[in-house]
A = this chain, B = another copy of it.
Amino acid sequence: MKALKIPEATIVRLSVYSRFLEQADKKGIITISSGEIAAGVGVSPAQVRKDLAYFGEFGTRGVGYNAKDLLKHTLKILGLNGKWTVVVVGAGNLGSALVSYRGFRERGFDITGVFDNDLTKIGKRLLDLEVMGTERLEQVINDNDVKIGILTVPASAAQDAANLLINAGVKAILNFAPTVLSVPEDVEVRDIDLSTRLEILTFHLCMREK
């Protein structure tokens, strides 16, 4: 498949659809319509059909989709038809919370290492992991074929941590540090800036009062 220009919002919704289909499948639902998916996730039926159309023909006109098949398809498109190993760099409050975040495991993400260079954090147990010094990052990444790193370090430490990940072979970074990382072209980065998300809300609250 060539890297078509698929809108990021479509990928986000695909993730939401696949979760909804997972629930439907668990409830024993065999056939599902775009209208039912749409109602379940809060978008229009046309949006569901348009999003799915990026990835080929699914379903039968007038009948709908086979829930299990469509679930499998969406998971495959998202790359979730297997396990992904992930490392977390930054074992502060947020990093520690992510290590035990059930939502990741449920979607096939397996956190295989958590790192920090703070001596007071190294050796601390988080679930079945022990916080390691960053000098062990490369070995863990190689041994476990890790392609994804999560950065939960302060902004000032983020670029150095990103470089460590990239040099060790990581190809995708989820960055929680409120800073812009520079990375080679073959590395994907997505930022989750938690404060920015709150600021979108305050922006709208203020707009309304005017």
A96 CA to B101 CA in the complex, in Å? Answer: 12
Q: Interface size on A (CB < 8 Å)?
A: 62
A189 and chain B: residue at smallest CB distance: B201
Q: Is A3 an interface residue (CB 8 A)?
A: yes
Interface pair B97/A202, CB less than 8 Å apart = no
Min C-beta distance of A74 to chain B, whole Å:
10
Interface pair A182/B42, CB less than 8 Å apart = yes
- CB contacts (< 8 Å) of A171 on chain B: these are 205
Interface pair A107/B199, CB less than 8 Å apart = yes
Min C-beta distance of A93 to chain B, whole Å:
4
Interface pair B93/A96, CB less than 8 Å apart = yes
User: Which of A121-164 touch B at CB < 8 Å?
Assistant: 147-148, 150
30 contacts between A and B (CB under 8 A): A1-B210, A11-B203, A12-B196, A15-B195, A42-B180, A78-B202, A78-B203, A78-B206, A80-B199, A84-B198, A93-B96, A93-B97, A93-B100, A94-B97, A94-B101, A96-B97, A97-B97, A103-B178, A104-B194, A109-B195, A148-B201, A148-B205, A150-B198, A172-B201, A172-B202, A172-B204, A172-B205, A188-B201, A188-B204, A192-B192
13 new A-B contacts at CB < 8 Å, known A3-B207, A79-B202, A109-B195: A1-B207, A3-B208, A11-B199, A12-B196, A86-B198, A96-B97, A98-B194, A101-B194, A148-B198, A148-B205, A173-B201, A188-B205, A192-B194
